[in-house]
């Protein structure tokens, strides 16, 4: 039996601990790069909140409450929230909020943003959605002069909590030109950045989606902003060129450069999608990479094709593949969809109590709760992890799916294009009833191995 804290992250395709200890990290330049922050993130990635808390207390006793301690505390708050330990999440969030109330340093601003987000998550988890939304609105007013990236982050959390069901914010380009779909026409917004590798990775699925839905009465718009304030004209020209050369299948989609819209919709360096119905109400706000199936699923809802009534959200797209709600293929595809949405609750619901996960090295982890925590830790390291299924074969309750796995390795809390990876992969699922009893991964480990080796030199 593998000890959980030594779980060899199969989805990274090599043991993460090996990558962490293979070479010594460089001398830290900032609090975010400090050894205590790295160690705590490593513990959290393995779902080990208790050890992360212990490391934080040991550091406080030896070094005090310096910038590294504050950043580390914000990471523990985030980890606790990911694990739904709301008491711990609020405790460490309060510590970081108190110590960063007037922060201007970039590291401390990052910690403050994390702490504010976690406090809102805690309120939301307690059923206080309106209070959580009001809190984020108050923070946005308080930090109205903060950097755009910081405010985008706060808006993103606010939107995750409360934007769905609300009227979609108006979109006006920086040059004053307003954009909106025709009266009664639903719309899909794609928020992106001209340097965003993960946005570029979204292009194939988005292009296939648009080829299918173009002409069906729905509008698609690409929203972005100027990222180089020192050379705005050059940055706008770069945006035009990147869209022309890298998003060729989307040439008829308008590109709107609007700092205000990117702020209001929480746009960042990861792809973000907003689905707006014909009445101008936001029906889904999804600030991460989407599969082609998920794009279609959300758009079908806008067009009046929501799928079978009463079916759990995670299973909607999979049911379109099969006439039976509990067919093995539909269950396996629902599981894959939950992975691509990074939804650990849906994943747990689709696992049997004795669920077994097998990585590409043959290591096994058993138990629903153990794997729920494992997925939480993994999504903390690769927040935009998705899998794309190209072919499926099934026989007697065993499903084999072939496709690609992709994501971006988060480094110091940032998702940068140079850390994006993609690799061919296959998955073998054993289905029992309407749940997955076994999930086995087969994949090439070289892309992620290179990234991890580079980041730990």
Average pLDDT over residues 394-419: 79
Domain match, 63 and 175 both: no
Average pLDDT over residues 51-79: 94
pLDDT at 23: 39
Distance, in Å, from the CA atom of 130 to the CA atom of 113, rounded to the nearest integer, reads: 19
pLDDT at 423: 85
In a domain, 25, yes or no: no
Domain match, 281 and 396 both: no
Domain match, 85 and 138 both: yes
Domain match, 132 and 183 both: no
Indicate whether 47 pLDDT > 80. no
In a domain, 21, yes or no: no
CATH number at 212 reads 3.40.30.10
pLDDT at 14: 33
CATH number at 436 reads 3.10.450.50
pTM for the complete prediction?
0.66
User: What torsion do the CA atoms of 191, 136, 109, 376 make, to the nearest 10 degrees?
Assistant: -70
In a domain, 6, yes or no: no
CATH number at 109 reads 1.25.40.10
Tell me the angle at which helices 292-302 and 328-340 cross, rounded to the nearest 10 degrees.
90
Distance, in Å, from the CA atom of 72 to the CA atom of 60, rounded to the nearest integer, reads: 10
Domain match, 70 and 156 both: yes
pLDDT at 313: 41
In a domain, 117, yes or no: yes
pLDDT at 244: 93
Domain match, 228 and 100 both: no
In a domain, 3, yes or no: no
Q: Which residue segment(s) compose the domain that 345 sits in?
A: 313-455
pLDDT at 324: 39
Domain match, 139 and 182 both: no
pLDDT at 362: 82
Domain match, 178 and 291 both: yes
Q: Domain boundary residue among 162, 185, 208?
A: 162
pLDDT at 448: 56
Order of strands, edge to edge, in the sheet holding 187-191?
255-257, 219-224, 187-191, 272-276, 282-286
In a domain, 27, yes or no: no
408-442: pLDDT as tens digits: 887 765 667 777 888 888 999 999 888 899 999 99
Is-contact 113 143, C-beta < 8 A? Answer: no
Indicate whether 3 pLDDT > 50. no
Q: Domain boundary residue among 302, 328, 357?
A: 302
In a domain, 377, yes or no: yes
153-206: pLDDT as tens digits: 999 999 999 999 999 999 999 999 999 888 889 999 999 999 887 788 888 889
Domain match, 146 and 181 both: no
pLDDT-above-90 percentage for the chain? 49
| Bridge partners (DSSP) listed for residue 167 | 281
Q: How open is the CA angle 50-74-84, to the nearest 5 degrees?
A: 55
Domain match, 284 and 324 both: no
300-324: pLDDT as tens digits: 999 986 544 433 443 333 333 333 3
pLDDT at 59: 95
Our count of domains for the chain comes to 3
274-284: pLDDT as tens digits: 999 999 999 99
pLDDT band at 288 (very low <50, low <70, confident <90, very high): confident
Contacts of 360 (CB under 8 A, 6+ apart): 10, 13, 441, 442, 443, 445
In a domain, 15, yes or no: no
pLDDT at 11: 39
Q: Domain boundary residue among 112, 142, 162?
A: 162
Indicate whether 42 pLDDT > 50. yes
pLDDT band at 140 (very low <50, low <70, confident <90, very high): very high
Domain match, 205 and 252 both: yes
Domain match, 185 and 154 both: no
DSSP H helix total and E strand total for the chain: 17, 13
């Amino acid at each position: 039996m593998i000890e959980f804290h030594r779980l060899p992250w199969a989805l990274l395709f090599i043991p993460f601990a090996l990558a962490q200890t293979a070479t010594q990290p460089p001398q830290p330049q900032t609090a975010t790069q400090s050894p205590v922050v790295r160690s705590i993130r490593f513990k959290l990635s393995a779902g080990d909140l208790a050890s992360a808390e212990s490391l934080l207390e040991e550091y406080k006793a030896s070094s005090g409450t310096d910038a590294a301690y504050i950043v580390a505390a914000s990471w523990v708050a985030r980890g606790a929230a990911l694990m739904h330990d709301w008491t711990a999440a609020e405790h460490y969030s309060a510590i970081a909020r108190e110590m960063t109330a007037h922060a201007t340093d970039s590291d401390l601003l990052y910690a403050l943003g994390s702490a504010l987000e976690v406090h809102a998550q805690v309120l939301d988890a307690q059923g206080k959605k309106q209070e959580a939304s009001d809190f984020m609105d108050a923070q946005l007013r308080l930090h109205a002069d903060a950097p755009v990236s910081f405010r985008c982050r706060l808006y993103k959390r606010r939107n995750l909590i409360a934007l769905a069901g609300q009227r979609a914010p108006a979109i006006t380009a920086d040059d004053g030109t307003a954009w909106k779909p025709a009266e009664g026409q639903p719309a899909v917004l794609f928020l992106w950045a001209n340097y965003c590798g993960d946005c570029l990775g979204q292009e194939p699925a988005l292009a296939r989606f648009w080829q299918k839905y173009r002409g069906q009465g729905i509008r698609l718009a690409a929203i972005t902003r100027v990222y180089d304030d020192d050379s705005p004209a050059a940055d706008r020209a770069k945006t035009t060129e990147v869209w022309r050369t890298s998003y060729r299948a989307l040439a008829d989609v308008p590109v709107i450069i609007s700092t205000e819209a990117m702020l209001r919709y929480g746009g960042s360096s990861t792809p973000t999608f907003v689905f707006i119905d014909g009445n101008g109400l936001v029906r889904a706000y999804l600030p991460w990479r989407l599969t082609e199936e998920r794009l279609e699923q959300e758009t079908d809802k806008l067009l009046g094709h929501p799928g079978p009534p009463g079916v759990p959200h995670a299973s909607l797209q999979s049911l379109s593949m099969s006439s039976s709600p509990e067919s093995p293929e539909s269950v396996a595809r629902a599981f894959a969809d939950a992975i691509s949405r990074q939804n650990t609750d849906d994943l747990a619901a689709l696992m049997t109590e004795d669920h077994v996960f097998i990585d590409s090295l043959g290591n096994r982890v058993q138990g629903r709760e153990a794997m729920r925590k494992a997925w939480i830790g993994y999504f903390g390291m690769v927040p935009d992890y998705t899998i794309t299924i190209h072919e499926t074969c099934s026989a007697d309750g065993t499903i084999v799916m072939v496709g690609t796995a992709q994501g971006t390795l988060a480094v110091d809390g940032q998702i940068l294009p140079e850390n994006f990876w993609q690799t061919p992969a296959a998955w073998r699922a054993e289905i029992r009833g309407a749940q997955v009893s076994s999930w086995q991964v087969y994949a090439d480990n070289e892309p992620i191995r290179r990234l991890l080796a580079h980041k730990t030199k």
